[in-house]
Structure 1
């Protein structure tokens, strides 16, 4: 799907990779972008920045907690009331904190499930919608798990499987909604602030250093440009690795 003229809803869009997603979608000609984030202060700040740069008619901020289904549902309704419809949903909200693993699972995995089901409901041709695209943010640890953060790795692996299953032509035929996943490698963002407090146990820090020893950090802007390429060229059910500042690479999985 080409971005130009489309309406996009992006979760976790106030900071980090999500912020770059919102900026790049507008740069590529999106007709409207909804910045959805639990962080009201940063979300409002980004809204005013992008509205002054691109016109307030093209930007919307919705304070949204992806762990709250009713609030997430209201966000979809608000975006549709503002822009008329939604073409693209980017399920990006996520945290890395195995110490608070129940919240981590609820945001990283359940939030993506909620966003995917809501997208099918509000965009699905079987529900009177126009179809569209969902792009889920997973991670390179979704298929190469980090020993140091097993629960975080598990949430990202689950997103990969969810995407491959819901992205199958069976579901696309029912809903008209294509689903893909982007898996960024190490990226300069605010995901890791104090790793000692984000790992399940402090003793895992040695494992973290081994896991990340060979990482080459890329910019969130590169990940955002890759997202646009994947939207334009990816097929439903596909999973794309973006790491070390290289072009997106589709990951292949053997079928049994």
Structure 2
């Protein structure tokens, strides 16, 4: 049995990753602030792949306590975590909202990664595994329309590179990988680009 935790799993890229992981016989924990969408997907996956294939945890990744509780709920359910997908994202470059972009995209990714080391790391009694950090093509290209959001994704890339070194792998046995999509069909980010988005 393999177990995956996917943040921002109720829509967009996260939604598709949850479905794909379940199809590959993973037990899937969907973490999201969007409770209705997350529960709908969870119930659907349990119908398709059997009861107990999926759980939903309402989680704000910018809140370390919330994130930790979701990790612990997953481990209580299945005994371990093999893959963490740090997919949750937030876009708001406005003077009022930019801090939330950093809290979700950067702090949330780092917080999740450190939880993975704590609960999955071989140096903490775990089995190792994989952390997939969803960054963006904007992390390594110039995009003046969304400078703060793009900068958060550049930070995710840098963090993933450093955590993905051989030195780090020898410490905890976790492979760190970054994915840099251009966009995703069905993403709230694309469907309503004039507003701040959680995805």
TM-score band (shorter)? over 0.9
Are 2:189 and 1:191 equivalent residues in the alignment?
Answer: yes
Q: What residue number does 1:138 align with?
A: 135
Within the candidate set 70, 75, 80, 2:75 is matched to 80
1:195 CA displacement: 2.9
Cα deviation per residue 1:143-173 (whole Å; 9 max; x = unaligned)?
0131100000000000000000011011110
Does the aligned pair in 1 maintain the 2:184–2:190 contact within 8 Å? no
Unaligned ranges ≥5, structure 1: 200-256
Counterparts of 2:167 and 2:56 in 1: how far apart (Å)? Answer: 34
Q: Is the 8 Å Cα contact of residues 83 and 130 (structure 2) preserved in structure 1? A: yes
Secondary structure in 1 aligned to 2:30?
Answer: strand
Matched residue SS, 1:35 = strand
Q: How does 1:61-80 map to 2 (within 5 A)?
A: 61-80=56-75
TM-score if structure 1 supplies the norm length? 0.73
**Is residue 49 of structure 1 aligned with residue 44 of structure 2?**
yes
- Tell me how far 1:71 sits from its aligned partner: 1.1
Q: What corresponds to 1:101 in structure 2?
A: 98
RMSD: 1.3
1:85-113 per-position Cα deviation (integer Å, ceiling 9, x unaligned): 00000000002221211001100111000
SS in 2 for 1:180: strand
Task: Note the C-alpha offset of 1:40.
Answer: 0.9
Q: How many residues were matched structurally?
A: 194
Alignment of 1:106-121 (within 5 A): 106-121=103-118
Which stretches of structure 1, 4 residues or more, deviate above 6 A after TM superposition?
none
Contact 2:183 2:190 in 1 (8 A): no
User: Which one of the candidate residues 14, 17, 23 is aligned to 1:21?
Assistant: 17
**Structure 1: distance between partners of 2:53 and 2:47:** 10
Report the CA distance between 1:77 and its aligned residue: 0.7
Work out whether residues 88 and 134 of structure 1, in 8 Å CA contact, stay in contact via their aligned partners in 2: yes
Q: Is the 8 A contact 2:12 2:184 kept in 1?
A: no
Structure 2: which 5+ runs fail to align?
none
In 2, distance between residues paired with 1:47 and 1:195? Answer: 27
Q: For residues 104 and 161 of structure 2, what CA distance do their matches in structure 1 show?
A: 20
SS at match of 1:56: coil
3-state DSSP of counterpart to 1:10: strand
Q: Given the two structures, how large is their TM-score scaled by the length of structure 2?
A: 0.94
